[in-house]
């Protein structure tokens, strides 16, 4: 049995994009959890499941960046938001 078959599809999507987001922004799990506490990223992914599961990874990550960072101009602005 494929592990994707035993995991709820929404939870799988959340885990997948949380991992990609952490890799993209070089966040540790601790940093991600702090950011999630501020921005509620996991809930955003759950609420956006319907359009997100039909969109490619890059498109979802761009939407996630816009939601979390508001399209900051520089890495310094991102670092301020992370803390």
pLDDT in tens, 4-58: 565 788 888 899 999 999 999 999 999 999 999 999 999 999 988 888 878 889 9
Under DSSP, is residue 27 helix (H, G, I), strand (E, B) or coil? coil
Is 2 a member of any domain? Answer: no
Residue 46 CA to residue 10 CA, distance in Å, equals 6
Is 5 a member of any domain? Answer: no
More confident call, 70 vs 77: 70
Is 1 a member of any domain? Answer: no
Is 4 a member of any domain? Answer: no
Q: Could you tell me the residue range of the domain that residue 68 belongs to? A: 10-82
What pTM value is reported for the model? 0.75
Residue 71 CA to residue 12 CA, distance in Å, equals 26
CA distances from 60 to 9, 44, 80 (A): 16, 11, 23
Q: How confident is the model at residue 72 (pLDDT cuts 50, 70, 90)?
A: low
pLDDT of the residue at 74: 44
Q: Render 37-66 in DSSP notation, one character per residue.
A: HHH-HHHHHHHTHHHHTTS-HHHHHHHHHH
């Amino acid at each position: 049995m494929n592990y994707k078959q035993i995991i709820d599809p929404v939870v799988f999507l959340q885990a997948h994009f949380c991992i990609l987001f952490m890799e993209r922004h070089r966040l540790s799990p601790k940093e991600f959890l702090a950011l999630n506490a501020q921005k509620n990223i996991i809930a955003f992914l759950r609420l956006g499941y319907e359009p997100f599961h039909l969109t490619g990874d890059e498109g979802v990550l761009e939407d996630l960046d816009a939601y979390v960072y508001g399209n900051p101009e520089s890495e310094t602005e991102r670092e301020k938001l992370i803390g």
